[in-house]
Amino acid sequence: MSQQAELERTVEGMPNWPGDGLTRVPYWVFQRDDVYAREQEAIFQGPVWHYLCLEADIAEGGDFVTTFVGDAPVVVTRDSEGAIHAFENRCAHRGALICLDAKGKGKKDFACVYHAWTYDLTGKLTGVAFQKGVKGKGGMPPEFKISEHGPRRLKITALHGLVFGSFSADAPDFKSWLGPEIEPKIGRVLAGRKPVVLGRYTQVLPNNWKLYVENVKDSYHASILHLFFTTFELNRLSQKGAIVVDETGGHHISYSAIDRKTNTASADYAQQKIRSDSKYRLADPSLLQGFDEFNDDVTLQILSVFPTFVLQQIQNSIAIRQVVPRGPDRTDLHWTLLGFETDTPEQRLTRLKQANLIGPAGFISMEDGCVGGFVQRGVRAASREQAILQMGGSTAESSESRVTEASIRGFWKAWRAHTGI
Amino acid sequence: MSQQAELERTVEGMPNWPGDGLTRVPYWVFQRDDVYAREQEAIFQGPVWHYLCLEADIAEGGDFVTTFVGDAPVVVTRDSEGAIHAFENRCAHRGALICLDAKGKGKKDFACVYHAWTYDLTGKLTGVAFQKGVKGKGGMPPEFKISEHGPRRLKITALHGLVFGSFSADAPDFKSWLGPEIEPKIGRVLAGRKPVVLGRYTQVLPNNWKLYVENVKDSYHASILHLFFTTFELNRLSQKGAIVVDETGGHHISYSAIDRKTNTASADYAQQKIRSDSKYRLADPSLLQGFDEFNDDVTLQILSVFPTFVLQQIQNSIAIRQVVPRGPDRTDLHWTLLGFETDTPEQRLTRLKQANLIGPAGFISMEDGCVGGFVQRGVRAASREQAILQMGGSTAESSESRVTEASIRGFWKAWRAHTGI
Amino acid sequence: MSQQAELERTVEGMPNWPGDGLTRVPYWVFQRDDVYAREQEAIFQGPVWHYLCLEADIAEGGDFVTTFVGDAPVVVTRDSEGAIHAFENRCAHRGALICLDAKGKGKKDFACVYHAWTYDLTGKLTGVAFQKGVKGKGGMPPEFKISEHGPRRLKITALHGLVFGSFSADAPDFKSWLGPEIEPKIGRVLAGRKPVVLGRYTQVLPNNWKLYVENVKDSYHASILHLFFTTFELNRLSQKGAIVVDETGGHHISYSAIDRKTNTASADYAQQKIRSDSKYRLADPSLLQGFDEFNDDVTLQILSVFPTFVLQQIQNSIAIRQVVPRGPDRTDLHWTLLGFETDTPEQRLTRLKQANLIGPAGFISMEDGCVGGFVQRGVRAASREQAILQMGGSTAESSESRVTEASIRGFWKAWRAHTGI
Amino acid sequence: MPSINDHFFAIARAQSDYARCIDDDRLEEWPSFFEEACLYRITSAASHRDGYEASVVFANSRGMLTDRISALREANIYERQAYRHLLGMPALLGQAANGLRTETSFMVARIMQDGTTDLYATGRYLDIWNTKGETPKIVERIVVCDSSRFDTLLAIPL
Amino acid sequence: MPSINDHFFAIARAQSDYARCIDDDRLEEWPSFFEEACLYRITSAASHRDGYEASVVFANSRGMLTDRISALREANIYERQAYRHLLGMPALLGQAANGLRTETSFMVARIMQDGTTDLYATGRYLDIWNTKGETPKIVERIVVCDSSRFDTLLAIPL
Amino acid sequence: MPSINDHFFAIARAQSDYARCIDDDRLEEWPSFFEEACLYRITSAASHRDGYEASVVFANSRGMLTDRISALREANIYERQAYRHLLGMPALLGQAANGLRTETSFMVARIMQDGTTDLYATGRYLDIWNTKGETPKIVERIVVCDSSRFDTLLAIPL
Ligand code: FES
Ligand code: FES
Ligand code: FES
Ligand SMILES: [Fe+3]
Ligand SMILES: [Fe+3]
Ligand SMILES: [Fe+3]
């Protein structure tokens, strides 16, 4: 069956999408193998940009890291001229991983361990062991041309120290991919200073990757699920703040800033009788004593680039989150915690302390780590039922209010456009 | 695709049923994902009654427990008027588990942890956080009516302290569901006295749920697989006893009573040369010294209600078994061991000792716990082969003899009627 | 649906095979459930011979072992006349494993634990407990004939102490199955002497079974992946040696012998710049001091019989490897290490030392144990891509050079012929 | 060494011998670790917390322990399997009326005949020891498993 | 017994009490195993090797440990779960400026409310102890997990 | 303390150091736990029971142990991985001709580069120790794994 035919068949096999397309999401999208396969094809190997690593991870020629774009293992390298390359970590011969290490330095080329086919730092096949055979016997036939083979290579782009790649030649220009609103806010956090990796870990999520992405884009839950935000006024819906959703719907920014006017929030909260407005206080409040890093009073900026990249500023806790699907009900969330060369020792210590807010043990993020599993289990028998996404209306537009699911609707708008589901 | 169409498609995809329908069972029914999916739909979410809990588990207003009906997580509650309610443990908003705890008391309402949508004890959606937004911004659109949303609620019925529920409005009246023969035998064990939960545990079975249900209904194996029964004369096929199969075939009772006439069984057993007739004796026979609890000489009564409820009386060991499928080849068996308020200390101790017969370490039940796995593994490569169910003929009728598979045939009769397979 | 129809449906559902059929292998063959199911049917239950055990494992009447033919559990026995029998380890009644033990002696018959249906050593059903009921009640209907039921029995053949079986009556005569070239080389290792089992263990491979079989047939990798071979001159492509591929393509022999002429290999290796040509030496070289067991200077003979049997001679390390698929991405590799009754103590010690070369911790075999997983993971996202099998041309013929993938192409030739894929 | 209770080593040794006895499949010796008059129960943390009286295994005499083993050997049908116990350091909690109270953590792996190995049970032994004799004997052992889920069956004692 | 460091038993006991304190869900007592001025970090072997400064959990005061517990009790949402620690024998590595350095291996199983049990974390404690007082107190504890993968969340301290 | 064999602590310490040596990836030091003339074998409980002579790993000289390590370091291809050993209390079984016989239970978790952690092996060390020197040295170690299934490969010694 042709690839195209295969695709149509796949999409056809699925139930119809309920409702108007953005305010209802059928739970089968988090459960079905065919949906997962379609996503791999249309999104992860499609004309979409995916975060690969930091430029700082491959600072020098010969440096490399391995990562994943969806299910695909990928090698990212920097060559001696300083150019960045990425290619599928799959030998052109019979498919073994070309590179077994998570990272390394001083690499000149890659030799597959199985039969020593060799690749340069660009992923180009440069050698086939015994291509001419031994003593003129065996070897590859003359019609075999090394130049015609090699792993799939990714298109590469870099911005503010972030490296993105795409398997598809049709991936749009990265700037237009991001649109006018996203790039400056990435710049706000990363531009003009040298990042230092402070830490790395992986959180294994017991749920479909899209449930985590919804969570990231979900400004509605922040003040309700996370007691820390509200109690310590890291984030109040009544603070200044807004949601930005780009034109495609796929990217978003949610931010909040200190509202120096009298804060009427408590009243609002009282009305909702939300458990998250407790009288809870810290014994060592130094945990939350931050410094004004951006001179803009913005205490929180969560930014996502479709489909699986997140850049986080929570006070002075700066981190990148890379979402990697591992199956319909399992997701790897890779955290990279950042500081900057210019950090003073006090600032650095502040970042180390605020790291307690994020990651698997994060006072905030631990809850985002389990709530996706609560949904995956909650909808187990409800593949024909639907989620309701009407908070803040039915569109996927930017809004001053963060009591909205606009950016989640935006995600589905982009996801449906890409998958055709 | 419509639900109906989907169903037909599912059932159509399956091989044909071999034979006359009751004397042969194709092994693919224990293996295929589509069969499992069909069961979830037609049986677990269909017009069928499922055991939920004991009334005693939710004795007071504000008490609740969580359980499963097939794949569906369910919350069971008692309201302040004493009425019992059950609803799917899935938030109407975006599907998170509404209740995370296994049980609790003094509950007034349930607030979903994700966005604090609240539900009363009946499962009715009563509140949506920030429905009106904050300072008039955001919130739900006017056309959103809280009354139109909520988790699926179950129809509830209770009998002799047992709570049953159904997702389907078409579930028949419970008494007629049970038929005339079953209810009195439930009453025999439970009516007119207050149960006390003595213990609880879960046995994880490495096999399809139907293999366990077959085992429960299988009076043929009892005296052969279980050395204890025969050796200690807990149960002899030549004792007085019988099998009762209800009209639908789905429910059954198997019982045996002391035969005070001379016991000719040994001879029968000798003829069969069955390993289960050993000379094995206990060092501490107090394990099996029971008391006559029902004044009817009935030492064993196993009763099942289609599809997954079992009420057991083995001497003075009274237990409820709830069978929960976890996939085509995995099943949770939840045991609830019962005593009664009227128990004397001696009687209570007897129950504690006889508990050694049941559960994962039960001298009897441990074997029922592994034999299903022996079948699941035995038929691994035999999806096109069939089980033979001809013991005692080809019908699903009650019989005085327990050397029959009548009640297993009955199960398949009911299962096929419900699934349409 | 009829079995035939089912088959066609299965094969039809699959993508088309790329290329000319032998020089390209699509990665979906290592991933798809339907391919796995088709293999079970056409190969493991088809007219194909499968290794079961050693004659020595069931040396006496009443001895038995249990094993697997693909997914099917199988019992192999020797009766009192010394004849060997094998049958599916699945009770004719309701499918329980008939035999729970890995091996045993002095067996007269098998009684299923569930309802004591009994089988003789040939797998014939000989008794049905309570067939006539008890006191004339219950039991099997008169039309039930014991003679018409029983587990599927395998056709059996034995050669040089090896026992093979087939589920299919259509399996060809074993000698013609092997063809003229294979049998003598099995004889070379095993004929005319009594084997002694020195050890047994199982290596669990994280990959499709065919990736391991490819590895066994892959003479190209031997000198590259395995440093030991090259460094200690156990095997040089420039040694005397050859690949033998039988007419069907399914069987192969790869061997190498000491080349007593000047060895020009190093040069060849130098040219390839292969990491495997190190200066690495042993502190205790006694590990590799072998004895000339066959008076033919052949230091290595790897022989495979389609689909999953391997007979290995690496110096004096003689072993049988049985490959058992456990799912599309999991395989059990069962090792049986052999010595012979005629071994002197010194020779026996040599075998024990050389056992360090093989198995999960083998200086050689550990690499074969992981490389299949490297491929399984490497091709994870590449089901539409293909492996290249052009080393040594495009045919599946014997060749003097071992710088060829001829025997791997042979495997696919046979695999495609059997599966129809 | 005042910080070390005199009974500590004797009990640690007894615990270790107990585990080896089971893991080596010398089950016939298992009852001999107990007093003639003893209590042995296997329960779960949840049941223990809820005060449930019934157990997964209940024996209030050494005879019942013997019966467990003879049942396993002569009567019950189950697949060959083995355990591997690993124990924490016993915590001595002081003298009770009937002996010395201790608490000891355990992890038990189960190995099936085909080699499949899984973490079968974790929990703690709540024990009372008679330390009068040459080697300490168990007067009471409540095996509190952390989980109330048991895979397939529990044949061999914990 | 020259081969036995005088502090060995006191520290082995403290380690065992520490584990029981967590496994018994007496988390409020957990900070009391530390000095007022202390350092507690959870990191991974890879991060430790790469010298990363940030941690999965970071506390440089006993107050922060207290805050961890009150957050778990009062603030954070997560499913009920429990740990079972099993510890190796502490290795005494000599005196540092601020106390006695030890290293202790651990395995931790996590048991969820429904009984699901898995091997949640393995690794080693890199500790510095103040052995001056009656019972040793932790001055510094770096929990180096062998893996940098954490399933779902890490709520209860290791 | 009569109940404690004088060698007990020295051997418990040696066992613990042995495990740390492997778990810390100081494999070059591993052979030094053995006598020059030694026997090291890895086998399974079933093979041990059946009296099979061959092993998963066999070394009858310290040189072969050294070769194991240099092969791992210089020759063999396998993914980066680590172990975490947890050991039971050594049981002293008395003097043999060539030294003191002991038996010690173990659980070993394997941690792959990507953090995947599984219970890789369980079993017992059947040892003979030379206790004459300053620290006990291994004369003979038979590693009897409870399972005869090995996942993928066994690269690092047990
Ligand atoms: S698979 Fe990479 S060289 Fe053969
Ligand atoms: S999912 Fe329950 S409130 Fe949003
Ligand atoms: S399944 Fe074997 S006798 Fe019934
Ligand atoms: Fe959040
Ligand atoms: Fe039974
Ligand atoms: Fe190889």
DSSP string, E44-63: EHHHHHHT----SEEESSHH
**Is D16's pLDDT higher than 80?**
yes
Question: Chain-wide mean pLDDT for chain E?
Answer: 95
> Cα(B212)–Cα(B72) distance, rounded to whole angstroms?
20
Ligand 1 within 6 A of CB of A129: no
Q: Which of F55, F143, F147 to mutate to test the interface with C (most CBs of C within 10 A)?
A: F55
Q: Is F153 exposed, middle or buried (0-12, 13-18, 19+ CB in 10 A)?
A: buried
The number of angstroms, rounded, from the C-alpha of E38 to the middle of its chain's C-alpha atoms is 12
Nearest to A142 by CA among C6, E33, C392: C392
**Is B1's pLDDT higher than 50?**
no
Identify whether the C-beta of residue B33 lies closer than 8 Å to the C-beta of residue B403.
no
Q: CA A35, A162, A183, A320 torsion: positive or negative?
A: positive
The count of C-alpha atoms lying within 13 angstroms of the C-alpha of A80, restricted to the half-sphere facing its C-beta, is 5
pLDDT for position B275: 46
pLDDT for position B97: 98
More confident: C235 or C304: C304
Which residues have a Cβ under 8 Å from the Cβ of C273 and sit 6 or more positions away? A127
Weakest mean pLDDT among B19-28, B176-185, B302-311, D145-154? B19-28
| Residue range A111-147, pLDDT digits in tens | 999 999 999 999 999 999 999 998 888 899 999 999 9
**Is B298's pLDDT higher than 50?**
yes
Identify whether the C-beta of residue C195 lies closer than 8 Å to the C-beta of residue C163.
no
Residues 175-204 of B with CB under 8 A from E: 202
**Is B28's pLDDT higher than 70?**
yes
Calculate mean pLDDT across residues B64-88.
Answer: 98
Going by the DSSP 8-state scheme, the letter that residue D147 receives in this structure is: -
> Cα(C294)–Cα(C3) distance, rounded to whole angstroms?
49
| Residue range A258-288, pLDDT digits in tens | 877 655 445 555 555 554 445 667 889 898 8
Identify whether the C-beta of residue A66 lies closer than 8 Å to the C-beta of residue A103.
yes
Question: Does residue D78 sit in helix, strand or coil?
Answer: coil
pLDDT for position B8: 52
Backbone angles phi, psi at A349, to 5 degrees: -60, -40
pLDDT for position D4: 45
Rounded to 10 deg, the angle between the C365-378 and C209-217 helix axes is 130
Distances (CA, A) of B353 to B299, B337, B362, D63, E77: 16, 12, 11, 13, 41
Identify whether the C-beta of residue C205 lies closer than 8 Å to the C-beta of residue C338.
no
Q: Output the six-digit token pair for F147.
A: 């399972």
> Cα(F100)–Cα(F93) distance, rounded to whole angstroms?
7
H helix or E strand, kind and range, residue E83: strand E81-87
Interior/surface letters B313-341, b for 16+ CB within 10 angstroms, e for the rest:
bbbbbbbbbbbbbeebbbbbbbbbbbbbe
Chain E residues in contact with A215 (beta carbon < 8 A):
none
B179: left (phi over 0), alpha (psi -120 to 50) or beta: left
Ligand 1 within 6 A of CB of A96: yes
Rg (chain C; Cα; Å): 23
| Residue range B338-392, pLDDT digits in tens | 999 999 999 999 999 999 999 999 999 999 999 999 999 999 999 999 999 999 9
Rg (chain E; Cα; Å): 15
Residues 21-50 of C with CB under 8 A from F: none
> Cα(C144)–Cα(E105) distance, rounded to whole angstroms?
64
For residue F33, which amino acid is it? F
**Is D21's pLDDT higher than 90?**
yes
**Is B300's pLDDT higher than 60?**
yes
Nearest to C246 by CA among C308, C174, C180: C180
pLDDT for position A233: 52
| Residue range C221-263, pLDDT digits in tens | 987 998 776 665 544 545 788 999 999 999 999 998 887 765 5
Q: Which of B266, B375, B383 to mutate to test the interface with C (most CBs of C within 10 A)?
A: B375
In terms of DSSP H, where are the helices of C326-403?
345-354, 365-378
Using CA atoms in the order A311, A317, A323, A326, what is the torsion angle rounded to 10 degrees? 180
Calculate mean pLDDT across residues D111-137.
Answer: 97
In terms of DSSP H, where are the helices of C13-144?
33-39
Identify whether the C-beta of residue B234 lies closer than 8 Å to the C-beta of residue C101.
no
Chain C residues in contact with B389 (beta carbon < 8 A):
94
**Is C169's pLDDT higher than 50?**
yes
Going by the DSSP 8-state scheme, the letter that residue A58 receives in this structure is: G
Distances (CA, A) of B32 to A263, A379, B383, C151, D152: 59, 22, 9, 22, 22
> Cα(B139)–Cα(E141) distance, rounded to whole angstroms?
47
Chains A and E touch (3+ CB pairs under 8 A): yes
pLDDT for position B229: 63
Chain D residues in contact with E118 (beta carbon < 8 A):
119
Identify whether the C-beta of residue F7 lies closer than 8 Å to the C-beta of residue F131.
yes
Residuewise pLDDT in 10s, chain A (421 residues): 344 454 454 577 889 999 878 999 999 999 999 999 999 999 999 999 999 999 999 999 999 999 999 999 999 999 999 999 999 999 999 999 999 999 999 999 999 999 999 999 999 999 999 999 988 888 999 999 999 999 999 999 999 999 999 999 999 999 999 999 999 999 999 999 999 999 999 999 999 999 999 999 999 998 789 877 666 554 454 568 899 999 999 999 999 888 776 554 455 555 555 544 456 678 898 988 889 999 998 999 999 999 999 999 999 999 999 999 999 999 999 999 999 999 999 999 999 999 999 999 999 999 999 999 999 999 999 999 999 999 999 999 999 888 999 999 999 999 999 999 9
User: Given an 8 Å threshold on Cβ–Cβ distance, is D20 in contact with F91?
Assistant: yes
pTM of the model: 0.95
Extended strands (E) in chain F: 34-44, 57-59, 81-87, 91-96, 99-112, 117-130, 137-145, 149-151
Strand partners, C312: C302, C319
H helix or E strand, kind and range, residue C133: none
> Cα(C56)–Cα(A317) distance, rounded to whole angstroms?
68
Question: Does residue C42 sit in helix, strand or coil?
Answer: helix
More confident: C409 or A136: C409
Q: Name the pairing type of β-strands C386-388 and C330-340.
A: unpaired
Q: What is the DSSP string of B41-79?
A: IIIISSS--EEEEEGGGG-STT-EEEEEETTEEEEEEE-
User: Given an 8 Å threshold on Cβ–Cβ distance, is E147 in contact with F118?
Assistant: no
C68 CA → ligand 5 middle, Å: 28
Rounded to 10 deg, the angle between the B406-419 and B209-217 helix axes is 140
> Cα(A181)–Cα(A242) distance, rounded to whole angstroms?
13
pLDDT for position A154: 98
Identify whether the C-beta of residue A324 lies closer than 8 Å to the C-beta of residue A331.
yes
Question: Does residue C137 sit in helix, strand or coil?
Answer: strand
Identify whether the C-beta of residue B43 lies closer than 8 Å to the C-beta of residue B78.
no
Percent of chain C with pLDDT over 70: 90
Q: Output the six-digit token pair for E121.
A: 């974390």
pLDDT for position C271: 54
User: In the structure, which protein residues have their CB atom closer than 6 angstroms to any atom of ligand 2?
Assistant: B 91, 93-94, 96, 112, 114-115, 117
User: Given an 8 Å threshold on Cβ–Cβ distance, is B73 in contact with A377?
Assistant: yes
Ligand 1 within 6 A of CB of A91: yes
Going by the DSSP 8-state scheme, the letter that residue D33 receives in this structure is: G
Ligand 3 within 6 A of CB of C193: no
**Is B241's pLDDT higher than 90?**
no
Backbone angles phi, psi at C337, to 5 degrees: -90, 135
Confidence of residue B152 (pLDDT cuts 50, 70, 90): very high
Percent of chain A with pLDDT over 70: 90
The count of C-alpha atoms lying within 13 angstroms of the C-alpha of C366, restricted to the half-sphere facing its C-beta, is 25
Residues of E with CB under 8 A from a CB of B: 77, 79-80, 113-115
Q: Is C5 on the interface with F (CB under 8 A)?
A: no
User: To the nearest whole angstrom, how far is the Cα of F22 from the nearest Cα of chain A?
Assistant: 21
Calculate mean pLDDT across residues F54-73.
Answer: 96
> Cα(B217)–Cα(B253) distance, rounded to whole angstroms?
8
- What is the atom index within ligand 1 of the atom nearest the CA of A117? 3
- What is the atom index within ligand 3 of the atom nearest the CA of B220? 4
pLDDT for position B280: 64
> Cα(B47)–Cα(B170) distance, rounded to whole angstroms?
5
Q: What is the DSSP string of A184-245?
A: HHHHHHHTTS-EEEEEEEEEEESS-HHHHHHHHH-HHHHHHH-HHHHHTTS--TTSEEEEEE
Which of E3, E103, E122 comes nearest F109 by C-beta?
E122
User: To the nearest whole angstrom, how far is the Cα of C79 from the nearest Cα of chain B?
Assistant: 21
Identify whether the C-beta of residue B42 lies closer than 8 Å to the C-beta of residue B70.
no
Which of D77, D114, D115 comes nearest C113 by C-beta?
D77
